[in-house]
Amino acid sequence: MQLTKQTLNQRTDHVYDVLVVGGGAAGLSAGIYLQRYLLSTLIIDKGKARSFWMQELHNYLGLPPETPGRAVLKQGKDHYLSLEGDYLNAYVEEVIDEGETFAVKVRIGRNHPTYEVFHTRYLIAASGIIDHLPQLGDMKNVFDYAGHNLHVCLICDGYEMRNQRVGVFGSSEGSLQVAFPLGWFTPHITLFTNGAFAVGDDLRDRFAAAGYTLNEQPIHQFLGENHQMSGVELADGSMVDLDAGLISMGSKYHADYLQGIDLDYKGGNLVTDTMNRTSHPRIFAVGDLKVGMNQVVIAAADGANAATQIWRDIRRTEGTRRVPVAA
C-alpha cells in the first residue's frame, strides 16, 4: 500500500525482505518481481526520477516511441501497488548494516520532516543519477529545454539528432569528446565551452579535422519556444542557430546513504555481478547507479535479475514454501 505519515506505524516493527531505494524504472521493476515472488517489499522514493524527466521513451519494445517517462512510472507504480507492495515518498538518509538486517533511516516530508527507521534483510540501491546541466544565470531557461530537444543521452537521442545542427555543451575537454560518436548521426556540430575551460591544441586539431566548430564564449541563454531550443545567445549578444543540443557534463550519483558501507565502485557507479549483487552479499544495485548502460530496458532487466537472485537466496535459506505476508 501507499504509506503515509498516518499509516507508517503499521510498518515500523516489520522486517521487510527487501527495501528498494528509488522508485524509477529499475526500482519498480524489482518491486514487481519481488512481490510476485511473495517477498515483502518497501520502495522508498524521493521523486524527480530521470525516468520522470524523460519526455519520450523512444526505444522500448512494446511501447509507442513517444511514451513519456511519467506514464511508465505511473503504470509501474500502479502495477506494483496492485501486487500489495509498500511504497513511501521519502528520502533515504542512511543505511546501517546490523548483521542479519539493515536499519534504513528515512526523512519524510520537506518543510516539517519526520524521521523513521525501517528494517530489511536485503537492500536494492535503485536511486539512479542526475545529469549536471549548464549553469546559466536563469536556470528556468535551461529547464525549459532540457529533456526536450536539449538532450542528455546520446544513446537515447542520437537518432533524433540525425543530420541536425547540434550544439554540444560540455564541462571539460573530455566531456566534449562525445562529439565524435555524435558525428555518426550528424556532421553539423558546434562545441560550446561556455568560457569555463580551455581546449588543448591536440583536441582543437581533431575537432577542426572533423569539421566541428569550437565556440569558447560564455552563454547568456538558450533561445526557442514551446520547449524547442532553436539556438543560443552568447554573452556578447551574438546568436548561434541550432536544431538540437546535447549536454555532456557528467552526473551526480545518488549513493550518499551508502557511505557507511564498504562497497566497490567504478567512478561513481556501483560494481555488481551479472545478477546485480554488489560486493556486499545482501546489497544489490540496479539501473543507472550501477556500472553499465543508462537505459530503461537495462534498468527493467536489472530489477528482474536482482529480485530473482534475492528470491533464490531466501528460498535456499528458508525452504521451499512461503505464504504471502499479511498486510
Ligand X SMILES: Cc1cc2nc3c(=O)[nH]c(=O)nc-3n(C[C@H](O)[C@H](O)[C@H](O)COP(=O)(O)OP(=O)(O)OC[C@H]3O[C@@H](n4cnc5c(N)ncnc54)[C@H](O)[C@@H]3O)c2cc1C
Give contact residues for ligand X (rule: CB under 6 A).
21-27, 44-51, 53-54, 57-59, 69, 91-92, 126-128, 131, 147, 152-153, 156, 254, 257, 287-288, 294-297, 299
Residue 12 identity (one-letter amino acid):
T
- For the CB of residue 160, give the shortest distance to ligand X in the complex, in Å: 9
Compare residues 45 and 86 and give the one whose CB is closer to ligand X. Answer: 45
CB of residue 121 vs ligand X: minimum separation in angstroms? 19
Distance CA 146, CA 284 (A): 31
How far is residue 243's CA from residue 151's CA, in Å, rounded to a whole number?
11
Instruction: Quickly list DSSP for 69-89.
Output: HHHHHHHHHHHHHHTT-EEEE
**Residue nearer to ligand X on the CB measure, 69 or 234:** 69
Number of helices (H) and strands (E) in the chain: give both, helices first.
9, 19
Q: Going by C-beta distance under 8 Å and a sequence separation of 6 or more, which residues neighbour residue 278? A: 125, 263, 264, 270, 271, 272, 284, 285, 290
Nearer to ligand X by C-beta: 128 or 207? Answer: 128
Tell me the C-alpha distance between 241 and 237, whole Å. 13
Q: Considering the complex, what minimum distance in angstroms separates the CB of residue 296 from ligand X? A: 4
Q: What is the 3-state secondary structure (H, E, C) of 118-160?
A: EEEEEEEECCCEEECCCCCCCHHHHHCCECCCEECCHHHHCHH
Distance of CA 284 to the CA centre of its chain: 16
For the CB of residue 288, give the shortest distance to ligand X in the complex, in Å: 4
Of the two residues 92 and 219, which places its CB atom closer to ligand X in the complex? Answer: 92
**Least distance between ligand X and beta carbon 199 (Å):** 26
Residue type, 29: S
What is the smallest separation between the CB atom of 12 and ligand X, expressed in angstroms? 17
Any bridge partners for residue 77, and if so which? none
Q: Which is nearer to ligand X, 38 or 156 (CB)?
A: 156
- Given the DSSP bridges, would you call strands 86-89 and 251-253 parallel, antiparallel or unpaired? unpaired
Q: Considering the complex, state which of residue 278 and residue 295 has its C-beta at the smaller distance from ligand X.
A: 295
* Shortest distance in whole angstroms from residue 2 CB to ligand X: 15
Q: Which lies closer to ligand X via its Cβ, residue 86 or residue 131?
A: 131
